[in-house]
Amino acid sequence: MYDTFHLPRFGRLLKKTLLERPMQIFGFTGAILLLLFIYYAIYHLPLHQWIEVQKAAFLIGLTGGGMFLASFMFGYFSTNAQGASYLTLPASHFEKWLCVVLITGIFYPAVFLLFFRLVDVSFVVWFHDHLDTSMPNYKKIYDTVGVFPFDGDKARDVYCYFANYAGAMLVGSLYFNKVTFIKVALVVGGVFLSLYLVNLLIAKIVMHDVQNAFPFESVDISVIKFSAGLQPISSVDRSIDLPSNTGKAIDILTRYFLPGALWIISYVRLREKEF
pTM of the model: 0.86
* Most confident segment among 30-44, 98-112, 123-137, 179-193: 98-112
- Domain residues of the chain, as ranges? 7-178
Contact 149, 155 (CB under 8 A): yes
pLDDT at 238: 75
DSSP one-letter string for 75-113: TT-SSHHHHHHHHTSSS-HHHHHHHHHHIIIIIHHHHHH
Distance CA 39, CA 119 (A): 11
Q: How many helices (H) and strands (E) does the chain have?
A: 13, 3
pLDDT tens-place string over residues 248-269: 888 899 999 999 999 999 999 8
Mean pLDDT along residues 18-41: 87
Could you report the per-residue pLDDT of 118-139, keeping only the tens digit for each?
999 998 898 888 887 888 888 8
Q: How confident is the model at residue 1 (pLDDT cuts 50, 70, 90)?
A: very low
